[in-house]
Amino acid sequence: MFIFDMINGEAGFDPMIVLLVAMLVDTYIGSFQFSFHAAIHPANLLTRLINFFDQRLNRDKRSERARRIRGFISAMLVILICIIAGGAIAWIARNHEWGWILEFFVIVTLINQRGPFEQAKKVGRTLRDGSLEETRIELSNLAKRDPSQLDEYGIARTVIESLGRNFSTNIIAPVFWYVLFGLPGLLVFKAINIMDTQIGHKDPKYQAFGFSAARIDDILNIFPSRLAGLFLCMAAAFTPTANPLKAFKIMLRDVAKHRSLNTGWSTSAMAGALDLALAGPKRYPGRVVKDPWIGDGSAKATHKDIRRALYLYATACLINGAWVAAIAVIRFDLLPGN
């Protein structure tokens, strides 16, 4: 939208201003989960759309090749629907005086800055004041890991890794694609990200059908994940006891150790900035994954390290906001008549 303008209009606010206001509202209030009925919440609508294709095209009786082709077709159709829907909402926002409100609500429900922060903060507080069992229950709301076998150090590491992952996929990537292509870009990214979460698994049911969604999600996260790592390194310069130089060094050195090269950027930046060892062996329901350690610090993370990670996360969010504001100023200066 801002780099590649496709939809013009005279009414409403500039779309970059709408994005900035949505980010500000989400920072202080949180996503407007209550602003939509559950049935018409944007994320729920995308989930229902994906489930529709899954139920009708991903049949066990079909061959692996047929399911892979149908998975690709499903991904393309979801992308097309998001482009059309996002373009329609953006057109309304640009051509009707109050149309920007609709776009604002969609943005604020799909960019989630405060949610992961509050969940991580709650786990850290419970880890400090509550029992280990209570902390494991809280952790299950934040991460997919099996918390039943995690000790206090494993819980703290999982929280910190989740903050890094959410910073990349829930904040940087949606904003990045909105800045490039406006609401259609944001909707396409969120749909593919949800699709990857829903069907991008390597189990027999989804290995073929979810292949395209998983690969497209990897592609869409290539640049945002690296930007997220860079912002975390920059944020370390403004975070007490964090080390920006070590964050950058560990990020470049250990990113390839992570099973996901995209997630590895934020995880390794977090590890270096906070002088911790993250990742490592993980227990999931029914299996144990023996991943290598990232970072050369201590693996014995505590609730104090969660507090430091929250400070780093919040500072990185501010840097992201400043980046968007800078682009808004440049865009305004380039507009005709300025």
Please report the pLDDT score of residue 53 as a whole number: 85
For residue 10, is it within any domain?
no
Domain membership of residue 175 as a residue range: 15-334
Pair 156, 121: CB distance under 8 Å: no
Taking 50 as the pLDDT cut, the residues of the chain under it are 1, 3, 34
Domains: count for the chain: 1
For residue 7, is it within any domain?
no
For residue 4, is it within any domain?
no
Q: What residue type is assigned to position 130 of the chain?
A: G
For residue 127, is it within any domain?
yes
> Of the candidates 225, 216, 186, which has an alpha carbon nearest to the alpha carbon of residue 75?
216
For residue 272, is it within any domain?
yes
For residue 174, is it within any domain?
yes
CA separation for the pair 134, 119 (Å, rounded) = 14
Please report the pLDDT score of residue 34 as a whole number: 47
CA separation for the pair 110, 12 (Å, rounded) = 21
CA separation for the pair 136, 218 (Å, rounded) = 30
Please report the pLDDT score of residue 162 as a whole number: 93
Please report the pLDDT score of residue 307 as a whole number: 95
Please report the pLDDT score of residue 169 as a whole number: 94
Q: CA 109, 265, 202 angle in degrees (round to 5)? A: 75
CA separation for the pair 310, 314 (Å, rounded) = 6
For residue 71, is it within any domain?
yes
For residue 138, is it within any domain?
yes
